[in-house]
Amino acid sequence: MSEQDMSGKEKVLFSKAINPSNIMPKKLTLDSKIKFRCHPGVSCFTACCGGIKIILTPYDILMLTRRLDMPAHEFIQQYTVPVYLEKTDMPGVALKLGEEDQRCPFVTPEGCTVYTDRPSACRYYPVGMADFHEGGSESSKNEEQSAEEKFFFIVKEDHCKGFEEDKEWTVREWRADQGVDVRDEMNKEWLRLVMRRKSYGPQASLSDQAKRMFFMASTDLEHFRTFIFKSSFLDTYEMEQELIDKIREDDVELMLFSFKYLAATLFGAQVMNIKEDRIKAKVEEIKGRQDESVLESVRDYETIKAARDLEKNQIK
């Protein structure tokens, strides 16, 4: 799998992946004040839309394919390059930059042509968020408590003149302005899958089949839907009819369901149940295999015994 070399430059998506030299050492809360403004009048306008890796989340891909009115597989082919996520073996995609200018395919001198559907990483920049629950299981704490376990930080790059602007706002106001709350909600479980994989380290390997499933579900919901409805999936897993109807019609529901399915298949999370008759059939199959191996041992024993008896008779 090839990867565009960005020398470690990446718009903030995975909080722990960015180059620490860019991060201002101060931990911020939602109420911390930041002085920043990005607008077409800054001398660096669109400077951050090139020479950088922009990882796409499943929701980013969904929004961009809707915006461009193209099937996911075409979008993936035309606009992305394959990457490994967070230095794990989990395959993902990043925006494919122009070969010569290393610029985002959606940037023009006037700005971003997909602005209202721009990827999550473009929205988060330059305010990153770290969540102590990344990679772990969701606790039973309420929203307020878990918000307290998040903190924010600024990624400051020399070329970015937005910090010289006069506008001051809280992190909360900045995030609301950039529409990151919906993105957070949509990306949360997917980011958690990647961080969980990362926390297991390289010694725990994922099968090729698991990696292929992760990639397909993360990048191409149309194919994932075909997999659900055209394979033995619905005969295997217990699912409420209401959920089946939702994921048949609604892409966002399907995406959120895919995260659950991946958590169950990749990490054994107890979020999906296999149907009783499937379990019975599997048990019978295993028992059958065991019976067959017992019979095989008996046959081997009989063969060896017969050979020994023959030998003994010949000696006599």
CB 170, min distance to ligand SF4, A = 18
Query: Which of 54, 93, 127, 266 touches ligand SF4 by CB under 6 A?
Result: 54
Which lies closer to ligand SF4 via its Cβ, residue 98 or residue 136?
A: 98
Looking up tokens 């950088």 gives 52
Rank residues 30 and 42 by Cβ distance to ligand SF4 and give the closer one: 42
| Closer CB to ligand SF4, 112 or 272, in the complex | 112
Helices 221-230 & 251-267, crossing angle to 10 degrees? Answer: 70
Contact between 107 and ligand SF4 (CB under 6 A)? yes
The type of residue at 224 is F
CA distances to 14, 129, 168 from 154, in Å: 14, 9, 14
Q: Report the residue from 122, 129, 193, 263 that binds ligand SF4 according to the rule CB under 6 A.
A: 122
Q: How many CB atoms lie within 10 A of CB 151?
A: 19
Q: Pick between residue 46 and residue 236 the one whose CB is nearest to ligand SF4.
A: 46
| Beta carbons of 62 and 252 less than 8 angstroms apart | yes
Residue 165 contacts by C-beta under 8 Å, 6 or more apart in sequence?
35, 36, 37, 38, 39, 42
One residue of 14, 59, 79, 106 binding ligand SF4 per CB under 6 A: 106
34 binds ligand SF4 (CB under 6 A): no
Please pick, from the candidates 18, 83, 154, 160, the single residue that binds ligand SF4 as defined by CB under 6 A.
Answer: 160
Interacting residues with ligand SF4 (CB under 6 A): 38, 42, 44-49, 54, 104, 106-107, 112, 114, 118-119, 122, 159-162
